[in-house]
Amino acid sequence: MALPVREQFKYWGIAAAIFFLLLYALGDQLLPFFLGAAIAYFLDPVADWLEAHGFSRAVATGIITISAIVIFVILALLVIPQLIEQAIQLFNAVPQLARDLGTFLTERFPSLLDESSTVRQSLNSLGQTISERGGQLLETALTSAASLINIIVLFVIVPVVAVYLLLDWDRMIARVDELLPRDHAPVIRRLAGNVDKTLAGFIRGMGTVCLILGAYYAIALMLIGLQFGLVVGFVAGLLTFIPYVGAIVGGCLAVGLALFQFWGEWWWIVAVAVVFQIGQIAEGNFLTPKLVGNSVGLHPVWLILSLSVFGALFGFVGMLVAVPMAAALGVLVRFLIEQYRYSRLYTGISGAAEPEAED
């Protein structure tokens, strides 16, 4: 006989409370395992595709591991040092850019920005502050990450965890399915399938879109000759998961830098703007519809709220679990709304029809 609903709520509530307490108490220690699980989840479709083409799971995992090592080495040798160097140079160049902006505005609006005006002094002060604090902030972030996260642990444990989880992913899912409460197994499978669909559509789809657009912006801007093009492309690609924000922030930053670098050569400034316009057209008409689709179910505001709340409660680990938790909570909320609309509380005494099964 099934447990009463009140008893079930009690047990599920206790399990959720234990999970959040463990997350809060062991956040830093759990970080490598969350990262490894995220990597394994991201790469599981690749392993399944290789299996479907005749490779064993072990061979498929080996191919993915070797490919990942090669890509990481290339990035570590070619891209990451250049990215850090350009970021530091950009912070150091901000005071000169602020002075150039002040000079530009003074020439055209002399009464507004004379040497003693508040706006002129604010621009100079802002540029100097960013220069002094920006590089220090970047250096502090890198050094603190190395000390708190333990860079050796990340580069040793995370790949090991990812490889083992990727190798046993299907068996783990089957084992978890065996442990589901029999009375609720069909509903849990349906909800888990919806969560997986949402995560797959958002994380894998938007992750791929971010990588494609980030690489496109960086390469195109560097071919044009824009200084700090790699940093601008990285920022624009990283923020692409929020609709329009990546293009607006990256576009404003790139055009602003182009105004200083290419002043008088308008065709280069237009070329920078065209790069972002092409990126927006490609994202809106090809990349996002093909890779993400229209039924993801993660609204950008819901995503930002989840990142803020989980980040504040659980730190960096909270930000890592924010997206899957947001997806799970979104699916549960839609499920509860569905149940409510077929309940007597909503339909009244006339009676409620049975809920329709989701596709």
Question: CB within 8 A of 234, min separation 6: which ones?
Answer: 83, 214, 218
61 closest CA partner among 158, 152, 159: 159
Residues 6+ away with beta carbon under 8 Å from 43: 64, 68, 162, 166
Yes or no: say if 276 and 254 are a contact pair by the CB < 8 Å rule. Answer: yes
Give the amino acid at 171.
R
In the numeric block, the tokens 């599920």 are attached to: 12
Task: Give the residue among 231, 233, 229 at the shortest CA–CA distance from 268.
Answer: 229
> Beta-carbon neighbour count of residue 21 at 10 Å?
10
- Residue 59 has a pLDDT of 92
Q: What pLDDT does 352 receive? A: 47
Contact (Cβ atoms closer than 8 angstroms) between residue 327 and residue 298: yes
Residue matched to tokens 């624009």: 236
Tokens of 149: 């996260």
- SS3 category, 95: helix
Residue range 118-165, pLDDT digits in tens: 655 665 665 566 555 555 555 555 554 445 455 666 677 888 888 999
Measured between alpha carbons, how far is residue 76 from residues 15, 72, 83, 223, 329 in Å? Answer: 41, 6, 10, 21, 37
- From the CB of residue 199, how many other CB atoms can be counted at a distance below 10 Å? 22
| Cα(337)–Cα(348) distance, integer angstroms | 16
State how far the Cα of 313 lies from the Cα of 219, in Å rounded to an integer. Answer: 38
User: Of the candidates 340, 318, 328, 323, which has an alpha carbon nearest to the alpha carbon of residue 26?
Assistant: 318
Which two three-digit tokens encode residue 94? 């901000």
Q: Please name which of 306, 275, 321, 286 lies closest in space to residue 205, comparing C-alpha atoms.
A: 286
Q: What is the pLDDT of residue 31?
A: 74
- DSSP annotation of 146 reads I
Looking at residue 15, its pLDDT comes to: 82
Q: Is the pTM of this model over 0.75?
A: no
Q: Which pLDDT score is estimated for 80?
A: 65
Supply the pLDDT for residue 63.
Answer: 92
Among 65, 66, 29, 75, CA closest to 165: 65
* Helix, strand, coil % in the chain, rounded to nearest 5: 85, 0, 15
The segments of the chain whose pLDDT lies below 50 read: 1, 144-146, 148, 295, 352, 358-359
CA distance 282 to 301: 23
At 270 the pLDDT is: 87
